[in-house]
Structures are given as C-alpha cells and as structure tokens.
C-alpha cells in the first residue's frame, strides 16, 4: 500500500515553476534594493537587512494572494503589468505604514527608498517577461517534458488544455489513452487519441515519455493497479488526477498528515503561517483604515448624537472563529442598543 502511494502523487505544479512563483518576485525585490544601495554608495547596514527580511515575507504573501501569474500564464501582458503595479502599490503602502508607525523610516536614505519604490515594479515586469521568453524558446526547441493522459474526461481535458496553452510548464502534450471507442468520447477532444490502456506501456518505452497523468475514476482501481504494474520498469513520472469535479471540490487543497496524503475540503484559512499573516494584516490594514476614516467616523458620531438621544457607540456580542465570543463596537443606528437580554452602551 505504501509503495503504491509513492507512485500516485497529487499533481500540483512543475517544480521549476513552483520555485519561481514563490521566490522570483521576492528575490527581484531584494536584489533591486541591494543593488541600489551599492549604486548610491549607501552601506547595506542592519537596518536595510531588517527591511529586506520584512519585504521578503510581505512580497511572498502578496504575490501569492494576488496571483499575477494567472494573466502571465495566459499571455495577457497588459493585465499582468496591471497586477504587478497593483501588488507593488499595496506593498509600498504597507511598508510606509510600518515605517511611520514604528518610527523606523528615518534610518533609511530617501534617495534609496524612493528609487527602490519606483524601479522595482519595472524590474519585476522585465524579469517575468524574460522568463516567459526563455520558457517559450525552450518549448519551441523541444527542451520540454513529453506527457500523456490516461482517460478522457473533464479533468483530463482541462489539464491537456493547460499544458497546451501554458508554455512555461515546460511540457508537451502527446495525447490520450482510453479504452472507449472514439464515438463515445466527450466532445472537444483536440488532442490525439494514441490508443487503448493496454498500449500505454509500450508507447511510453518507445517514445521516451516523461510524464503520465492517470485520469481515472476511483471505481477503476483494479485497472489503475494493473497499469501501475505495467509501468514499473519505465522511467516516467506518474501522477494521479483525482476527479474532484464530481464532489464540487474546486476549492480543495492537497496536504498530508503524518506522511499520509489528504484532501482539505473545508478548512479554516487561519492555519499555520496564514494565521500570523492574517493577524498582522488585520492590525496594519485596520489601523491604516481607521486613520483614513477618522474624519468620517467623527462626522457620523456627531450626526448620531445630534439626531437622537442616547449613546453614540454601543457594543454587542458576536461569535467568531471556533465559536469564540467577541465584542463588536458599533455606531448606534436605531433607538435601542440591544445585546441579547441586555444592552451595554458607551
């Protein structure tokens, strides 16, 4: 059983792409900062090192959440550039707020920081365009991994479309294998049908196929087991595509618990590092919004006080994560300040 689990792996991303998705943007941001300190004859002191560490974590989180790669994958350069500048604007706003809130901003040379804020988004855009050009050239020159899909179904067709459309995946789609007659296959099959499942092992050996995606329903376990036995002596990487569409699990996430693969169907978004990032975001963004809206809230408070007797703000109990009771402070918009059986006001 354990040996079979090692053969059937949930496919997530090509390792090279995953590396660039997580590290390219932060590395470009940090490299630009370091090169600017050299160009402007500023020593890269401990203060800049602290800034670099903070920038690394913030940029890693932001670019993952914004997912500017979705437009990069589709070749929409203008939309991708918009995402880059939008994400960088948020990044700059967060850094500026942290700097002024902590009084740390005076430790940095204005010319370095201003230059960094201005140059970095263009450096990010240039690095991504260069990477896309490299990926496209490698794809055209055949320096990619060949792939086949076992089973013609919805998820298999979607994967084939992704491989064909996105050259940065460094893969070339060769075709499908399926035991059904061509007339019984789903419509929209543009990729060649290479043969039946019994032909897979021979085709893989003959054509040096690098990657095999098994897109079979769970009910086809005996057939999948037999296929794995036939492919044992090949060097191809084998991935299993679970049919998540039949369970409406489009938001599911693959993980492992003690080395055992699991599918997170519904989970709290505040687990692990996300909980820390969420807490920091709440404090930073909420504080920034409160400062910006302070005049508006003051006007509302005056209006509430002048238009009806009673308190301006009252508090109510609400229930948050894990059913924990929290206190919410609200502007009074009615004549009463109810909180269940009691009312607490200020």
**Where do the structural domains in the chain lie, given as residue ranges?**
15-139, 144-264, 308-346
Higher pLDDT, 5 or 298: 298
At 185, list the tokens: 């296959």
Using DSSP's 3-state secondary structure scheme, residue 168 falls into helix
Higher per-residue confidence, 252 vs 294 = 294
Distance CA 335, CA 310 (A): 8
pLDDT, position 194: 87
**CA–CA separation, 43 and 45 (whole Å):** 6
Q: Residue 337 pLDDT more than 60?
A: no
Higher local confidence (pLDDT), 49 or 310: 49
Lowest mean pLDDT: which of 58-62, 171-175, 216-220, 243-247?
243-247
- Whether the per-residue pLDDT at 129 is higher than 90: the answer is no
Query: Which CATH homologous superfamily contains domain 144-264?
Result: NAD(P)-binding Rossmann-like Domain (3.40.50.720)
Contact residues for 206 (Cβ-Cβ < 8 A; gap 6+):
none
| Entry pTM | 0.51
- Nearest Cα neighbor of 215 from 158, 261, 152 is 152
By the 8 A CB rule, do 241 and 213 touch? yes
The answer to whether the CB of 175 falls within 8 A of the CB of 191 is yes
3-class SS at 143? coil
Res. 7 pLDDT band, cuts 50 70 90: very low
Residue 344 has pLDDT above 70, yes or no: no
Q: Indicate the SS3 state at residue 170.
A: coil
Q: For 167-193, write each residue's pLDDT tens digit.
A: 667 788 888 888 887 777 776 677 788
Strand order in the sheet with 9-10: 9-10, 237-240, 211-214, 145-150, 171-177, 193-195
Residues 187 and 46: their CA atoms lie apart, in Å, by 61
Q: Are 149 and 177 in contact (CB under 8 A)?
A: yes
Place of tokens 């699990």: 249
Return d(Cα 147, Cα 175) in angstroms, integer. Answer: 8
| Neighbour tally for 315: CB within 10 Å | 16
CA atoms within 13 A on the CB side of 330: 16
* Of the candidates 320, 313, 323, the residue with the CA atom closest to the CA atom of residue 343: 313
């Amino acid at each position: 059983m354990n040996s079979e689990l090692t053969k059937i792996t949930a496919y997530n991303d090509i390792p090279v792409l995953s590396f660039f998705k997580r590290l390219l943007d932060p590395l470009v941001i940090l490299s630009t900062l370091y090169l600017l300190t050299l160009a402007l004859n500023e020593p890269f002191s401990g203060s800049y090192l602290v800034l670099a560490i903070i920038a690394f974590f913030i940029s890693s989180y932001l670019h993952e959440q914004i997912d500017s790669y979705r437009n990069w994958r589709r070749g929409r350069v203008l939309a991708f550039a918009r995402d880059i500048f939008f994400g960088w604007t948020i990044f700059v706003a967060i850094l500026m707020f942290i700097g002024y809130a902590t009084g740390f901003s005076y430790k940095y040379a204005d010319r370095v920081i201003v230059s960094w804020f201005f140059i970095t988004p263009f450096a990010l855009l240039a690095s991504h365009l260069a990477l896309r050009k490299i990926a496209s050239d490698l794809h055209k020159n055949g320096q990619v991994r060949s792939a086949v899909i076992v089973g013609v179904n919805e998820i298999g067709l979607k994967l084939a479309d992704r491989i064909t459309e996105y050259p940065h995946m460094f893969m070339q789609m060769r075709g499908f294998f399926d035991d059904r007659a061509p007339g019984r296959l789903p419509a929209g099959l543009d990729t060649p049908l290479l043969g039946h499942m019994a032909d897979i092992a021979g085709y893989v050996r003959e054509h040096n196929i690098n990657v095999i995606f098994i897109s079979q329903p769970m009910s086809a376990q005996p057939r999948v087991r037999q296929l794995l036995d036939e492919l044992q002596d090949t060097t191809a990487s084998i991935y299993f595509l679970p049919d998540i569409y039949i369970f409406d699990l489009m938001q599911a996430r693959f993980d492992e618990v003690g080395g055992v693969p699991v599918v997170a169907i519904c989970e709290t978004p505040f687990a692990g590092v996300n909980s820390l990032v969420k807490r920091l975001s709440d404090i930073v963004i909420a504080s920034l919004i409160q400062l910006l809206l302070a005049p508006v809230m003051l006007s509302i408070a005056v209006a509430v006080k002048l238009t009806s007797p009673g308190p301006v703000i009252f508090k109510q109990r609400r229930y948050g994560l894990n059913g924990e009771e929290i206190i919410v402070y609200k502007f009074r918009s009615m004549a009463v300040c109810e909180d269940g059986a009691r009312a607490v006001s200020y």
